[in-house]
Amino acid sequence: MALEFLSPLHKASRQISVYLEAHTRALGVSPAEGHLLTYLDRYGPVQVGELVRVFGMKQSTLTSMLDRLERAGLVFREPNPDDRRSFLVNVHEGGAELAEALNRVLAALEAEIRARLSDREVAGFRAVMAAVDEVTRVQLRDR
């Protein structure tokens, strides 16, 4: 059975990851660390539980990643004022600068992809993504 949507979405996700790996490594982080930094830069401060949900990692894996990024001075954890049992994670200035550099790489990739598509093709892509949202009913972010 050929999967008309899921196989191409998975393949595209993997292609993007491989493409971005060279760029993130050149900036001194892994692709997952780069993704985490750009997420925190946009949405931080964020509870650790939200990061586990959004990134689909085991908490122990995420904690190890946060430990590395914290030692590098890119992120920090602070007590959550709304829940003393949890922490909020945010980016330090150096992490924000790195996230901005990564976002420039993402914007350039997005622009190259967009330049190859018509408005109608983009609308079709958005329709597929809306259908995925509707069918799965999975929300990954708290906000």
| Segments in the chain forming alpha helices (H) | 6-26, 31-43, 48-55, 59-71, 93-114, 119-136
pLDDT in tens, 35-60: 999 999 999 999 998 999 899 899 99
**Domain region containing 100:** 31-136
Asked if residue 17 is part of any domain, the answer here is no
pTM for the whole thing? 0.84
As a whole number of angstroms, the distance between CA 13 and CA 131 comes to 18
Asked if residue 70 is part of any domain, the answer here is yes
Asked if residue 15 is part of any domain, the answer here is no
The DSSP output letter for 31 is H
**Which CATH number belongs to the domain containing residue 73 in this structure?**
1.10.10.10
The DSSP output letter for 117 is S
Asked if residue 84 is part of any domain, the answer here is yes
As a whole number of angstroms, the distance between CA 120 and CA 95 comes to 37
The total number of structural domains in the chain stands at 1
pLDDT in tens, 60-115: 999 999 999 999 999 999 999 988 888 899 999 999 999 999 999 999 999 999 99
